[in-house]
Structure 1
Amino acid sequence: MNTTSSTTCPPIGLIIIGDEILSGKRQDGHFAKVRELLAARGLGLSWVRYLGDDRALCEAALRESFATDHIVFSCGGIGATPDDHTRQSAAAALGVLLELHPEAERLIAERTREWYAKDPAAAGSPDMSTPENQQRLNMGKFPAGANIIPNPYNKIPGFNVGQHWFVPGFPVMAWPMIEWVLDTHYKHFHNQVQLGEKSFLVFGVPESRATPLMEAIEAEFAGIKVFSLPSVGNDKRARHIELGVKGPVDALPAAYARLLEGTQAICASLGGEIDEAPKRA
């Protein structure tokens, strides 16, 4: 399995696949939950992408992400019905064929036997040679060379290629599988650096006037990001900008002081300070 051993965590991305999400038939919970799982380990998302059940679009998106060193979690579309395209798209993006993974085959057969044992009156048979069960085995056909991700809910595995981790769309399966990946393969990235954030409100200054200062601070302080969150205001507070810095807590005080000093030089009206509790990354 090709997981990174570097001490610096690569960017982490999330792909969420499913027409039902885009149509609003189901509400996405993956974004918030994955963000929560990462934050609990001092990690964060660099990007997220939503895709419908379109094989060409999924292939193009995966080809793009496979070309990076990013850690990528993909939720949805790994079943074996006509609207599931993730397995095929991943194989096409990698330029390989789909192959029935031996361990996936064993797990699917085991799960099938258990299902029929619990409900002997159910139509069908646990015989894996039947057309119905051969169709089930398609869920174990992954891009050649892939590894499996254990599924604690029903044993039907996900799969992994390099830094990409493909799990089902069902939260009850996907979330524990992602948690397992984080704790099994990326524990060395957990809680590496303590991060913080400090900001203040600025009134009567357009973002364009503050931009040169923001660029100068990012160039001067390694690891620091300067952010600007404009607001059109309301009946309680006038139009303003929340201007701040975030990054390693050791570098934060000096960067914040520089931002405050530079802003005071271009604006006489500052609002209250906003201080976010430190976290680790």
Structure 2
Amino acid sequence: MATPTATAPPSLPVADGRKPNPVLRWIRRHLVVMAAILALAYMIVPNLVVLLFSFNKPNGRFNYAWERFSTNAWKNPCGVADLCGSLGLSLQIAVYSTICATILGTMIAFALVRYRFRGRPAINALIFLPMAMPEIVMAASLGTLFLNMRVAFGFWTILIAHIMFCLSFVVTAVKARVMSMDPRLEQAAQDLYATPAQTFLRITLPLAAPGIAAGALLSFALSFDDFVITQFNSGSTVTFPMFVWGSAQRGTPVQINVIGSAMFILAVLLTFVGQLIANRRKARS
């Protein structure tokens, strides 16, 4: 008796009768990576241009065309009058506003997450107003408030304004971290006879530290970089962004590119160091 022979399953037909193009297949496979590289280049290339022109020696006042290589600006970054003074003022305001906004924002975030009280939904909504409101509206409103209160414009009005708009970002960052924390860890510490202060310092604060650090870094960057709100509430005080804007009207000195490049390099180094520390902690655990 003859046994039936096994036949191979029929191959699935291609819709158009042709094999897919290998080039199109490669593009589809790497499309997300290509988009990420383009987005990264879009953000990094302007900083690289600033770094390149920090070594330029223009013939005139405008540092817009490459003339010849020079390191004179790096050797004397304070060669332009009032540049380092405005830079120091911006750093001082950024540090003070970051400290105040971080302390107040952390307490507000814990209160909004851990406690129930009257007006809590309204406060949650009001926290997002400085983030959603156009910056020019906030700047004009603060300027009007200080004028009506007859407050002299200067260092303190800038500091108050920066603390106000940085506070929302700190609350948002810390609040997201606190909401993800496991309360059973704090309960376990209390079961082991830890005092409230010991529980907060050894359990709660280390767990919330990433959110607090993120809010503080964001607050510092926003405060140092702000121009619109500072312009409306500064009076005769000149911060670094205002100095850059004023210099651009007459000719941008190379030292501005030096300061910008130094801050960009410092931010990149801090990012790499933080990532390296995080990777080492993961490897140990």
* Greater Rg by CA: 2
Q: Which protein has the bigger strand share? A: 1
Give TM-score scaled by structure 2 length: 0.21
